[in-house]
Structure formats: C-alpha cells, structure tokens
Chains A and B, each alone.
Chain A
Amino acid sequence: MTKQIDGYHGTLLKVDLSSGKVRKQAIHPDDLKNYIGGRGLGVKLLWDHLKNKPGTDPLGPDNPLMFMAGPFSGFPAPSSSRTCVVTKSPLTSPEKSAYPHASTVSYANMGGFFGPEMRFAGYDGIVVTGQAKSPVYLYINNDTVEIRSAGKFWGMGTDRFDKAFTEELGDPRFRTCYIGQAGENGVKYACIINTAARAAGRGGTGCVMGSKNLKAIAVKGTGQPKVANHKLFLEALEEAREKFKDPKVYGRWRTAGTAAGIEYLSGQGIQAVKNFREGTFVDADKIGAKASMKHWVKSLACYCCPLACKKSGKTTDSPFAGLIHDGPEYETGTMLGANLMISDLKGILKAIYISDDYGLDMISLGNVIGFLMEAYDKKLIDKDFLDGIDLKWGSVEATIEMIHRIAAREGVGYLASMGVKALADEIGQGSHQFAMHVKGHELAAHNCHANPPRALCYATAHRGACHLNGTTIEQQNMIALADSIGVCLFALGGYGHDFAMVIKLLSAIIGSAAVGNPMETGERIYNLEKMFNYQEGFTRVDDVIPERFFQEPLTVGEKKGAVLTREQFKTMMDEFYTKRGWDLDTSKPGNAKLKTLGLVA
C-alpha cells in the first residue's frame, strides 16, 4: 500500500447489521487521491460494493448506506460541515432495464455537525450494510461502537426522538442523525434528519435506513487527523476567515436564508408554481422571507459556518400555530407553498414542521401532492381515490392530511409514498405529462420553461432531477468536487467560485501531491456515477425532462409565453454528451474519456 495521506484517518467504520459485526477498515490511499472523500469516495465505495451486481435491491441487505465526511470535516475551515449520505436509490428507475430493481446512485448532502464529529471519533466514513432483525441504533464514542436496541424509539417523530435520544445518551454533545416514521414505514422519499430539521433530504436515504431497521446513529469523538502543512493551513484558514467577514458574503444568508429566493425567483418567472405549470406565484410576498421573518427567533449555523442560513422560531394565533425548526427555506416554502398554490404562511410552516417530523423529503413530497392536486383538478381522479380528502389547490388542511397518510402509507398514502412516477403509472390518462420527475426523482423548486440550463441540470443529474447538479460541465465537476471535500456550496461566495482558496486549504490539509488535478477529480467522480447508472440500464432516453416544459408555455409573470423547444433541448444535450465524451445515442461513457480519468485500464 502506498503512503498514508495526511488530513485523513484513512479509516472507515464498517457495520454489518445482519451479523452485528463492527470493524475498522483502512481506506486505500489511491481512493482518497482519486475521490477525495464525501460524495466522491462514497460513490467509489458504492461501485466497489455493487459493480457487476446491477439490479441489487436498494432495500435489501446488500445495498450499503454510507455516511461520508470530506477532508475539510473536523477542521475549522468556514462552512465545512457537509456530510454526504451515499447509497443506491430506492426511488429512481429507468424507462426500461433488464434488472428488476434497477435504480440510480443516490447522494444526499447534509449540514450540521455529524460529519465533523464522525471525524473526531476517528472515521472518514461509516458504511452500514445488512439488516437488523429488530430496530437498533448505532452508538459510536471514539473506539467504542455498539449496536443498541431502538425498540422504544421506533414510531417516534424526529422532533420528539431528537430530545429523547439526547436524554438516553446523557450528553448533548453527541451528534446524531435519524429517521422518522416515513423512513420506518418505507416511504420511498423518506430522508435522514439531524438537529430536528437539517436533512440528507433527497433520493430516499431515509427509506434505505429504515429498510435496515436503523433508527439512528449517535457519534462523539475527541481526535483529529494531522494536516500535511500545519503552518500553511493556519495561514489559509485566517485568509479564508477574513473573506467571510465581508457583509456581501454573509449578509443575505443571515438575514433571510434561502427563503430570500421565494420572492426573487418568483419575480424571475423560474419558481415551481402550481405543479410547475407556472413560474410566478402571485402570493410570493405572503410566503417569502419578509413575511417569515416576523416569526423567526434566531439564525442557526452549521459547524464553523459564518453564514447561518437556518432559521428557527414559532407561529401563534393560527390553527397551525407551533414551532419552527427551519424555515421556510426556498425549497420547502416553494414546494409546500407556491407549488401547491398555498399562501397561508403559518399553514406552510406547520406542513414543513410535520414533514421534518416524519422525515419526508419536502421536494418530492411537494411534487407528489402537487401532482395529485392537478390530477384531481383535471378530474383524472376523484375524491374516492383520495380517501375523501378534498385535495384542492391551495388547501393547507388537505395538504396536511395527505402528509399524514403518506408518512403512514395508509390508503392513498401508500401509492403516493412511491413518488410521482408511480402515481402517473397508476393514474395514466396522460398524467405523465405533468408528473414532474427525471428518472423517477422529483424536480426541485426551479422551473425550466424560461431557464434552459436548468433543464440540462435536471436531465443529466445522476440521482435524477437535482437542482444542485450544475448547469454546465465545468460546474458539475466543481460541485462533485465540493461535495467530496465537504465544503458547502453556499460558502463559495466567500471562498471564491474559482476554487483557488478551497484548493489552497485542501492542499494544506492533504498535501498538494494528493490534491493532484482537482477538476479532473471532479470529472472522475461524475463519470463514475454515470458508469453506475449505465450499468443499471439508464441511457439517453432517461435523460429527459417532463413534457410540460415543451408543451405548456407560462401564462403569467415576467416570463409569460416562455416554453422550451425540443430542438433547443436536443442541441444542448448533444453538445453535453459530445463534450463529456459520452455516446450520443446511448449516453454510454466513452472508453477514451474513462481511460483518461483512470476509470478503465
């Protein structure tokens, strides 16, 4: 084995819930060089687990669920909290495949404190395989690792569990992540929650965790890896911290968080409104940041983050009054607000709270409910189909009732728990036109009619529709790199979008030899994800966006009349595959490109 790389423990914690065996495993230094950590290393490990095993059941024991920290994690670099949960998606599927359980890679990135603490405990990642016979949680205190019974916690919502779990652990400095009832019950878009509101939200990570009977992970640690160049690290750290003292860098995050986007993007005509039928919500001002601020108590930051975009608070004087753990954020406020034509902010905040408590990904959830509202409005389904719920546009009561049914997977909630693609398959009658997903993964809260680069971003994202995929090849590679380092994308405004400062810090931590060519690393990660999907049977026919964007021009707002053309989309995609070095017909990654990246011999 080549020399161990600084900045890492070089250690994975491997937990097999079927046998109850726990062990440490060394990470090959070449894997760290080639994939850095976080999303990249997670995808490499997924590939190692499932290469030549296409169609592995994502909810079976062989699908690994991995919690991956990057090399920034556990060092005080600004906004270095991000932790990537990597697994095979239980939600996505190709048009056609030879394999029954074909699905994409899934990676969901969460902030908070979990990743840094995992590194303090001595691990660059946790890999969970197998399935426990009864509900368990994983207890990690440095070298002490135990699989403990979680029987008494099963069935608990995340908010109550967060408190009960801390009490059980007896030390609030344990960092935890967990699932709610949605993950326990097998909702395909269940997420993993930490600190009662932060989420590894997308792609059904919580569903996989639930399939393993794993309620939670608690971690606490005392150590830290050493860095390659201590002095350079301290210099680069001070330089980075200076950059974040500029109000232009942190101002908008602290003031309004991502909720600022609710009004702004609505004004631009690119918000998800009425199940993506429109791009502008006339009541955006009623649910946006300005309206929300009245209810906020304080801003909350992730580990060493000077931005503090998360907001907590409470609402009063409403049937929906209650606690606000987070929000609205842009995505949650839009998907459970504008996309459902709901303008009752307190109702939206209640729906957000309930969704977090169940551990539901609100992006997929808002799509599912929006889709059902549209199908109901168009009389493709009736009230009986909806178990008597009068699911009209704009109804908070009906929305909340649907959320309860989905989390419990009862009645209509069972079908709705499978996502919009499954719903459209069942309902038929042309409803696929407005089933807003790519590869079975629902669209985030950004509309495409007037935003062609976003169409490419959604169509080519490897976990299915994802707004964080990047709209150009360069951006996609850079984001794959950032997700692997563990730095928050929101912080690039401080570090600089040219990545120079990020690379300087990374070089100080892991050494410039290990950093190598960072953009090529990003490209390597992106291509390996593509290889995974291609093996499962995903081809160019799966890289499409919903028909709505080509057929139904916007009727209101700044971008009234905007619609995508097929020619425009095809040209964009042709250029993408060509530049990527992938086959134009099948999207198969070309051998020449894979060779350059060291992905084939």
Chain B
Amino acid sequence: MNSNQETDAWSRRKFMKAVVSSSALAVMGQFGIFRLAMASQADKTGLTMIVVDYAKCTGCRTCETACSAANHKQTVNGETLNGLGNPETANIRVYPYNPDVDVPNVCAMCPDNPCIEACPVDPDPKTGFKALFRHPETRAVTNDPNRCITCGSCADACRTGTIIPNDDTGLPEHMCTLCNGDPQCVKHCPFGALTHVSVDLDRDFYAMKPDQIAGKLIQKWYGKSH
C-alpha cells in the first residue's frame, strides 16, 4: 500500500474551520470535539497507519527489531545497511501486561494532528512547516531537529503516548515513518498481527493509549477480577 501520491497536507486553518462549523461538537464520543474534524478529514487526507490484531500478537517484539533495523540504518564499510534491530529506537513499541496481553503501540496518524497542533514553533516562511510537521510525501509526522525547541508539547498532546522525547536530546521520537509505504513491521510479524490500512476512526481501540487497550482486553479475555 502506498500513499505517497496523496500530498494534500492538512492545515491548521482548515482544522479550525471544521471545528467551528460543527454543530455537534459536544457529543462526539471518544475524541470529543476533535471527532468530527478527524472524521471529515480522514478520507480526504488518505492517511494510512499500522493496525494491530491484539488476539494474534504474541508479544515477541520482532516488529520492534524490524522497524529499528529499517529506520536506523548504519554505514558499514561505506555501504548503507539496515541496523541490528535495537528495539530502543523502534517506532513501534510493545507494552506487556499481566494477565497476559501485549499491546504494540504505534502512531495512529490522527487526521487532526494534535502533536503538530501543539508544536509552538512558528511555521517556516519558506516551507510552511513547524518544527513538527506532516511530511508531504511520506505523510509521516516528522521532526525538524534544527528548529525543534525540545519543549515536549507534541509528546504531551499525543493521544496514544507514542511520541517520547529522547532522554538526552529532548527531540521527539518514535513517530511511525511507514517505511516509504512498505512497513517492515507488517512484513516481518511472524503472526500476521499487523496490517497497513487506511485510518478509520471507527476501528476498535483507535488512537487509544496502551493502558486503556490492555484494560479492555484483560476484561474481555480474563474477566473483571484482574
């Protein structure tokens, strides 16, 4: 699946217009006033994401290693090669729970871009991008390390808890790149638990934090007492 041709980036002005013009803001469920804005933009923006089938996920973390290897390449003897799959730098991160539930956490590609909205850095006059922006080609939430002021606002705004500032540099990390349209986590999951799909706000567990997802799955699978 490749979404590179869709380059209609979503601006803050359009977002505000969508929010203000809505007459049903208060009753939009999980995401409150953002729900309508997200819904109206999802199809138009053609955003795609990695979705997890939690029943199939075994918590093996192969996805983390595949992501890390592809997104953190190394130059070895003058040749650019995949990295060794250190899960620390992976953009998909598996959270384990007791009773046994594993929740791979990955960018939900929120159409209303709460992380980008929260970025206080003024748009660059030439590109129109803040320090955090949706890349026009890859559609991935992308950080410009030269302009980022490492304030952490994006991480605070992230609905899924995916964005985590680097301990040393403070730069936001772990935003899914979709691997240029061929996500390596999907390709390497031994259990077929990951798929690359269009963003759909109605999908179960969409844009929820790992703790919330785990809570629901534990109740469903193991009963209320845990």
Q: Do A and B bind each other?
A: yes
> B-contacting residues of A (Cβ < 8 Å)?
74-76, 113, 120, 159, 162-163, 166, 172-173, 195-196, 221-224, 226-227, 230-231, 233-234, 241, 244-245, 250, 297-306, 308, 312-314, 316, 323, 325
Chain A residues in 8 Å Cβ range of B82: 234
B160 within 8 A of A: no
Q: Is there contact, CB below 8 Å, between A244 and B190?
A: yes
Within 8 A of A (CB), among B58-87: 58-62, 65-66, 69, 74, 76, 79, 81-82, 84-87
Is the Cβ of B55 less than 8 Å from the Cβ of A298? yes
What is the CA–CA distance of A162 and B97 in the complex, to the nearest angstrom? 10
Is B152 interfacial (CB 8 A cutoff)?
no
B144 at the interface (CB under 8 A from A): no
A83 to chain B, nearest CB (A): 15
User: Judging by beta carbons under 8 Å apart, are B69 and A76 in contact?
Assistant: yes
Contact A76 B85 (CB under 8 A): yes
A313 to B58, CA, bound (A): 13
Complex: chain A residue closest to B220, CB-CB = A297
Rounded to whole angstroms, the CA-CA distance of A302 and B98 in the bound complex is: 15
CB closest residue in chain B, given A237: B85
Please report the C-alpha to C-alpha distance between residue A250 and residue B55 in the assembled complex, in whole angstroms: 17
Q: Are A302 and B81 in contact (CB under 8 A)?
A: no
Since A113-B96, A166-B98, A231-B81 are in contact, a sample of 20 more A-B pairs with Cβ atoms closer than 8 Å, ordered by chain A residue number, is: A76-B66, A113-B61, A120-B86, A163-B98, A172-B96, A195-B100, A222-B88, A230-B74, A234-B69, A234-B81, A234-B82, A245-B190, A297-B222, A298-B55, A299-B58, A300-B59, A300-B102, A306-B62, A306-B191, A308-B60
Minimum C-beta distance from A175 to chain B (A)? 9
Interface set, chain B 176-214, CB cutoff 8 A to A: 188, 190-191
The answer on a CB contact under 8 Å between B84 and A224 is yes
A-B contact list, 10 entries, CB within 8 Å? A76-B69, A172-B97, A222-B88, A223-B88, A230-B81, A234-B81, A234-B82, A298-B221, A304-B61, A314-B222
Q: Is the CB of A172 within 8 A of B99?
A: no
Q: A301 contacts B60, CB within 8 Å?
A: yes
Tell me how far the C-beta of A388 lies from the nearest C-beta in chain B, rounded to whole angstroms: 31
Chain B proximity of A444: nearest CB distance (Å):
25
Task: Flag if B60 contacts A306 (CB, 8 Å).
Answer: yes
By the criterion CB–CB under 8 Å, are B62 and A304 in contact? yes
Contact, CB under 8 Å: B62 / A297:
no
Nearest chain B CB to A412 CB, angstrom units: 32
B173 to chain A, nearest CB (A): 12
Chain A residues contacting B66 (CB-CB under 8 Å) are 76
- Cross-chain contact B98 with A159 (CB below 8 angstroms): yes
Which A residues touch B74, using CB under 8 A? 230
**Contact across chains for A323 and B222 when beta carbons are under 8 A apart:** yes
Minimum C-beta distance from A417 to chain B (A): 27
Q: Whose C-beta in chain B lies nearest to the C-beta of A117? A: B87
> Which residues of chain B are within 8 angstroms of A75 by Cβ–Cβ distance?
84-85
Given A224-B84, A224-B86: A231 and B61 within 8 A (CB)?
A: no
In the bound complex, residues from chain B placing their C-beta under 8 Å from that of A227 are: 84
Q: How far is the CA of A245 from the CA of B189 in the complex (A)?
A: 10
Would you give the shortest CB distance from B115 to chain A, in whole angstroms?
21
Q: What are the residues of chain A within 8 A of B87 when measuring CB–CB?
A: 120
Contacts of B128 in A (CB 8 A): none
Contacts of A234 in B (CB 8 A): 69, 81-82
Q: Report if B226 contacts A (CB, 8 A).
A: yes
User: What residues on B are CB-neighbors of A172 within 8 Å?
Assistant: 95-97
Closest 8 CB pairs of A and B: A76-B65, A301-B60, A306-B190, A301-B58, A312-B100, A76-B85, A308-B58, A222-B88
A224 — which chain B residues lie within 8 A by C-beta?
Answer: 84, 86, 88
Q: Answer whether residue B29 sits at the interface, using C-beta atoms and an 8 A cutoff.
A: no
B60 adjacent to A305 (CB under 8 Å) = yes
User: B83: shortest Cβ distance to chain A, in Å?
Assistant: 9
Closest to B100 in A: A312
Q: Which of A120, A195, A241, A314 is B96 in contact with, Cβ under 8 Å?
A: A195
A interface footprint on B38-73 (CB within 8 Å = 1, 0 otherwise) = 000000000000000001001111100110010000
A163 contact set on B, CB distance < 8 A: 98
**Nearest-neighbor residue (CB-CB) of B79 within chain A:** A231
- Closest B residue to A172 by beta carbon equals B95
B65 touches A304 (CB 8 A): yes
B residues less than 8 Å from A159 (CB atoms): 98
Q: Which residues of A contact B58 (CB under 8 A)?
A: 298-301, 305, 308
- Residue B223 interfacial (CB < 8 Å): yes
Residue of A nearest to B86 (CB): A224
Q: Which A residues are in CB contact (< 8 Å) with B191?
A: 301, 306, 308
Q: Which of A233, A298, A299, A306 contacts B84 (CB 8 A)?
A: A233
Q: Is A303 in contact with B61, judged by CB distance below 8 angstroms? A: yes
The distance in angstroms between the C-alpha atoms of A230 and B79, with both chains bound, is: 10
**Whole-angstrom distance between the alpha carbons of A230 and B88 in the complex?**
19
CA distance A300 to B193 in the complex (A): 13
Q: Which residue of the partner chain, among A76, A196, A223, contacts B98 with CB atoms under 8 Å?
A: A196
**In the bound complex, do residue A230 and residue B84 qualify as a contact, i.e. CB atoms below 8 Å apart?**
yes
CB < 8 Å: which of B69, B81, B85, B221 contacts A297? B221
B62 to chain A, nearest CB (A): 5
B190 → chain A, closest Cβ, in Å?
A: 4
Which residues of B in the span 88-145 have a Cβ within 8 Å of any Cβ on A? 88, 93, 95-100, 102
> From residue A302, how far is it (CB to closest CB) to chain B in Å?
7
Task: Tell me whether A120 and B88 are in contact (CB under 8 A).
Answer: yes
Which residues of the other chain, B, contact A223 by a CB distance below 8 angstroms? Answer: 86, 88
Q: Would A300 and B100 count as touching, CB distance under 8 A?
A: yes
Bound-state CA distance A478–B87 (Å) is 30
Q: Return A119 CB to nearest CB of chain B, in Å.
A: 10
A325 with B96, Cβ < 8 A, contacts A234-B82, A301-B60 known: no
CB distance from A149 to the nearest CB of B (A): 23
- Please, which residues of chain B bring their CB within 8 A of the CB of A221? 88
Taking each of B58, B86, B95, B102, which has the highest tally of chain A beta carbons within 10 Å of its own beta carbon?
A: B58
**Which residues of B140-172 are within 8 A (CB) of A?**
none
Chain A contacts for B84, CB-based, 8 A: 75-76, 224, 226-227, 230, 233
What residues of chain A lie closer than 8 Å to B102, measured between beta carbons?
Answer: 300
Q: Are A241 and B188 in contact (CB under 8 A)?
A: yes
Is there contact, CB below 8 Å, between A312 and B99?
yes
Chain B residues positioned under 8 Å from A195 (CB to CB): 96, 98, 100
Bound together, the chains give a CA A313 to CA B218 distance in angstroms of: 10
